[in-house]
A and B are shown apart, each in its own frame.
Chain A
Amino acid sequence: EAQVTQNPRYLITVTGKKLTVTCSQNMNHEYMSWYRQDPGLGLRQIYYSMNVEVTDKGDVPEGYKVSRKEKRNFPLILESPSPNQTSLYFCASSFSRGSWFFGPGTRLTVL
């Protein structure tokens, strides 16, 4: 089944404790992206990748890191999480000029 998977689906952590949210797609998509969704602010892009080893900042990249060492994986790293990073996070992937397909979301709470 073609899909985008994210892990974990739910995470509660404390300020400053490094964490990684994994994202994987099995559709051989070139593009991958991370979004966060917050009430009243909608969905905002954090980072995206056009292919292996090619990444670029989105609208809200501060406090996040990404890497694209393999085509199928695009992990999101929070090196020192803070409470303002509490949010619902989505990973998505697509072909060039294609439709974006989303993972199920990761609900992160930073205490």
Chain B
Amino acid sequence: QSVLTQPPSASGTPGQRVTISCSGSNSNIGSEIVNWYQQLPGTAPKLLIYNNNQRPSGVPDRFSGSKSGNSASLAISGLQSEDEADYYCASWDDTLHGRLFGGGTKLTVL
């Protein structure tokens, strides 16, 4: 069981907006930055959001991140079929002195 809690699945239809939550604690999300990764089937993970809400070059602005207290969220607007993937939140933990990943959320585009 991951210390960062994500819903195991999410879904939406093309064009819809979906959000994926990530819940942690004071020692990780509450005091450290949150990053989000996208893993398409059969491929290596890709950085999607860093520093809570920043997009790397090349990531569409349909993807956005936010953080409040001990929780964070990833929002995807204008959902497209190619967004079907696993999404992971991640944060450093000051108590464990290590990086934590959420359990991952499998996004299905209906």
A, B bound: no
Interface residues of A (CB under 8 A from B): none
Interface residues of B (CB under 8 A from A): none
